[in-house]
Amino acid sequence: MAATKYTYTEQKDTRSGFGDGLLEVAKKNENVVGLCADLTGSLKMGDFQKEFPERFYQTGIAEANMMGLAAGMTIGGKIPYTGTFANFSTGRVYDQIRQSIAYSEKNVKICASHAGLTLGEDGATHQILEDIGMMRMLPNMTVINPCDYNQTKAATIAIADHHGPVYLRFGRPKVPIFTSADQPFEIGKAIKMIEGSDVTIFATGHLVWEAVEAEAILREKGISVELINIHTIKPIDAEAIIASAKKTGCVVTAEEHQKNGGLGDAVANVLAENLPTPQQYVAVDDQFGESGKPAELMTKYGLDAQHIVIAAEKAIERKK
Partner 1 sequence: MASQANIQELEKVASQVRRDIVRMVHAVQSGHPGGSLGCTDFMVALYFHVLKHDKSFNPDGKNEDLFFLSNGHISPVWYSVLAHAGYFEVSELATFRKINSRLQGHPTPEEGLPGIRVASGSLGQGLSVALGAAQTKKLNKDNSLVFALLGDGELQEGQVWEAAMYAAHHNVDNIIATIDLNGQQIDGSTKQVMDLKDIKAKWQAFGWDVIESDGNNMDEIVKCLEHAKSLTGKGKPIVNLMKTEMGAGVDFMMGSHKWHGIAPSDEQLADALDQLEETIGDY
Local structure of residue 90 (DSSP, 8 states): T
- Verify binding: residue 36, partner 1, rule CB under 8 A: no
Active site residue 63: yes
Rounded to an integer, what distance in angstroms lies between the CA atom of residue 283 and that of residue 304? 10
- CA end-to-end span of the chain, whole Å? 27
User: How many chain residues bind partner 1 (CB under 8 A)?
Assistant: 32
- Verify binding: residue 22, partner 1, rule CB under 8 A: no
Task: Return the number of the residue (2 or 75) whose C-beta is nearest partner 1.
Answer: 75
- Verify binding: residue 29, partner 1, rule CB under 8 A: no
The type of residue at 173 is P
The type of residue at 305 is A
Helix (H) or strand (E) segment spanning residue 168: strand 166-169
Q: Which of 63, 130, 226, 256 is catalytic?
A: 63
- Residues 253-312 touching partner 1, rule: CB under 8 A, are none
Which of 32, 45, 71, 254 binds partner 1 (CB under 8 A)? It is 71
Task: Return the number of the residue (107 or 200) whose C-beta is nearest partner 1.
Answer: 107
Q: Burial of 1 by CB count in 10 Å (0-12 exposed, 13-18 middle, 19+ buried)?
A: exposed
What phi, psi does 221 have (nearest 5°)? Answer: -85, 5
- Verify binding: residue 53, partner 1, rule CB under 8 A: no
Local structure of residue 176 (DSSP, 8 states): E
Task: Return the number of the residue (45 or 69) whose C-beta is nearest partner 1.
Answer: 69
- Verify binding: residue 52, partner 1, rule CB under 8 A: no
Which of 23, 25, 36, 70 binds partner 1 (CB under 8 A)? It is 70
- Look at phi and psi of residue 164 and say left if phi exceeds 0, alpha if psi is from -120 to 50, else beta: left
Relative to beta strand 232-234, strand 174-176 is: unpaired
Q: How far is the CB of 91 from partner 1 (least distance, A)?
A: 15
The type of residue at 254 is A
Catalytic residue set? 63
Residues forming contacts to partner 1 in the complex (CB under 8 A) are: 33, 54-55, 57, 59-60, 62, 64-78, 80, 95-96, 98-100, 103-106
